[in-house]
A and B are shown apart, each in its own frame.
Chain A
Amino acid sequence: MTANVGIVGIGHTRFGNSSEYDLADVMAYAATDALQDAEFLERRREIDQVIVGNMASGLFCHQSAVASSLVSRMDMEPVPAELVENGPASGASAIKIGYMAVASGMADIVLVAGGEVMRKVSGWTATENVATMLHTEAEYNMGLTLPAFGGMFTRLYMEKYGLTERDLALLAVKNHKNGAKNIYAHIQLPCTIEAIADGPEAAVVNNYIAEPLRMYSTCPVSDGGAALLLVNMDSPKAKYFKKQPVRIAGIGSATDTHCVHNRKDPLRLEAVRLAAEKAYRMAGVGPADISFAELHDAFSILELAISEEVGFFERGTSYLAVRKGETDIDGRLPINSSGGLKAKGHPVGATGVSQVVELVRQLRGEAEEGRQVKDPRYGMSVNFGGFGNNVVALICAKVEG
């Protein structure tokens, strides 16, 4: 089912440490920004549906029913509101459900907000909370964590394709360079290859997290919120919005085995490939049409593996493209212009929405100086749930005025 759904408002908090604030307030701030951006704040009770993406407010904040809470913070009652949970892909799933609400005819205007406050708890507890998405008996009970799977996946890739730790460091340098220019990024500091790979102190600065993954190949634990206002562009209500919309051209999602060890080829991310294929089909485009992409680099290896699964590069060659600068802002196919999860941060429930906020900023030509992609037409995001067991791919298109 396709519909003519436009994004007419975006909002985003600066990712980082919001641990002194309530999750609903963090999401409400981003949502209010999105409504202001759409010049629709005063008419917010005319919104047909609110969809909230959040992974684990119960674990991180001891808080439930956050969609109801958000609506009340924004004085939007009686607008209907529901929560969508899909692990770290909750944000993109919320957008997908918002799109489906419009496509079904049940709603013309949908507010989608994603958020997570993870830093109320210690890093030790955060690692534990995130690990609960693993298979309870066969993974979580073993003491496994998401970084441990990232490390094991990285080793497989290195041994098969010749990737080096220095190549992973090059990804960090690229993404931190972009993040340093992004006002919403958690970490707004560039880093050098000398500091994290080549220099005498590199092994200390860039210590191992889950070998061969180092700290600069792993995203930070972040708090934050992001929001979008979706509108049925074929509805009479579309005339309320003056800004040129960005169109949601394609959405696809797919699942894979819960246990990573049960995948036929543990180096394949089948759910990524299938989700991307569906999104391409729906949008009527292919990998060659994509101008830039936001890929879920919770671990740097995933930026590489996802870029291959979605068809940007031949298998096992994406790191060679990174060496040549092809994925830099001024390269052939910029990837993670926002800084990615590595530098922008990864508040798990917010990330999928945040990726699409970046697509909209780029397609509007509103990214900061030095990280604006040149003349983009199509942007793609891939939001990765679990260790690749529930993935959402999304394609946004510029609408020519």
Chain B
Amino acid sequence: MVDFGLYDAKAPTIVGYRCLTCGAVYYPAPMVCGKCSARRDPVTGKGWETFDLEGPCELLTWTRAWNLPEGYTKKYLLFGIVQFENGLRASGQLEVEDPRTGMKLSATVKESDERPGNPVNVFVFRE
């Protein structure tokens, strides 16, 4: 039996990219490796592998933004830049009561449709 109702149960992810020629990691995806100049084919991904970008990270800086883009109906949103244990960094939304630079967080991914009709995967950094 196939339960088509489960099609949307797949957890949203954001991926990092690893060049299999030299091992360098990236987020977001490059088209050419900055270290060894290996090309990345965005269709086949040949020569590269992807990995879920999530888990422990450190907050480098943050803001509470009161003027959000079109579609966003919240009064404000917190945003931050974090660094993962593998050295990659990412920007995303912050759901922390009392943010402090340097605090340890965990990166999760959720699907957001705040721009209606354009659902996207976004980082949410939490304690």
Question: Using a CB-CB cutoff of 8 Å, which residues 218-265 of chain A contact chain B?
Answer: 259-262
Interface-located stretch among A30-38, A131-139, A176-184, A304-312: A131-139
Residues of B within 8 A of A143 (CB): 68-69, 72, 77, 79, 93, 112, 114, 122
Are B81 and A266 in contact, CB atoms less than 8 angstroms apart? yes
Q: Which of B68, B81, B89, B92 meets A145, CB within 8 Å? A: B68
CA A209 to CA B63, docked complex, whole Å = 10
Q: B91 and A151: CB pair below 8 A?
A: no
Task: Say yes or no: is B28 at the interface (Cβ < 8 Å to chain A).
Answer: yes
Chain B contacts of A326 at CB under 8 A?
none
Q: Cβ of A76 < 8 Å from any Cβ of B?
A: no
Interchain CB contact (< 8 A) of A207 among B66, B79, B120: B66
Q: Are B60 and A266 in contact (CB under 8 A)?
A: yes
Interface size class for chain A?
35 or more
Pick the contact of B66 from A124, A131, A155, A208 — CB < 8 Å? A208
B69→A131 contact, CB < 8 A? yes
A138 to B91, CA, bound (A): 7
Determine if A288 is an interface residue (Cβ-Cβ < 8 Å).
Answer: no
Contact with B along A145-188 (1 / 0, CB 8 A): 10110011101100100000000000000000000000000000
Q: Say yes or no: A148-B101 contact (C-beta < 8 A), given A142-B122, A261-B81.
A: no
Contact between chains at B68 and A211 (CB < 8 Å): no
Whether the pair A135, B81 counts as a contact (CB closer than 8 A) is no
A285 within 8 A of B: no
A125 at the interface (CB under 8 A from B): yes
Q: Does A195 contact B (CB under 8 A)?
A: no
Query: A211 near B64 (CB under 8 angstroms)?
Result: yes
Task: Tell me the interface secondary structure of chain B in the complex.
Answer: strand
Q: Are A152 and B122 closer than 8 Å at their CB atoms?
A: no
A145 in contact with B67 given A139-B91, A259-B91, A260-B81 (CB within 8 Å): yes
Which residues from chain B contact A155 at a C-beta distance below 8 Å? 61-63, 101
- Interface residues on chain B, number (Cβ under 8 Å): 31
Shortest Cβ distance from residue B72 to the other chain A in the assembled complex, whole angstroms: 6
What does the 1/0 interface line of B29-72 toward A look like (CB < 8 Å)? 00000000000000000000000000000001111111111111
Q: Is the CB of A147 within 8 A of B65?
A: yes
Known: A142-B91, A144-B91, A145-B68. A152 touches B27 (CB 8 A): no
Q: CA A212 – CA B66 in complex, angstroms?
A: 11
Q: Mark A193-214, 1 if CB is under 8 A from B, else 0.
A: 0000000000000011111110
A141 on the B face (CB < 8 A):
yes
A to B CB contacts below 8 Å, 30 in the list: A122-B70, A124-B68, A124-B70, A128-B71, A131-B69, A137-B28, A139-B91, A141-B121, A142-B79, A143-B68, A143-B69, A143-B114, A144-B65, A145-B67, A145-B68, A148-B65, A148-B79, A151-B64, A152-B61, A152-B79, A152-B81, A155-B63, A155-B101, A207-B66, A209-B67, A211-B64, A259-B28, A259-B91, A261-B60, A262-B89
Closest CB pairs A-B (n = 9): A151-B63, A128-B70, A128-B69, A261-B89, A141-B120, A148-B65, A138-B28, A152-B61, A210-B65
> Which B residues have a C-beta under 8 Å from some C-beta of A?
27-28, 60-72, 77, 79-81, 89-93, 101, 112, 114, 120-123
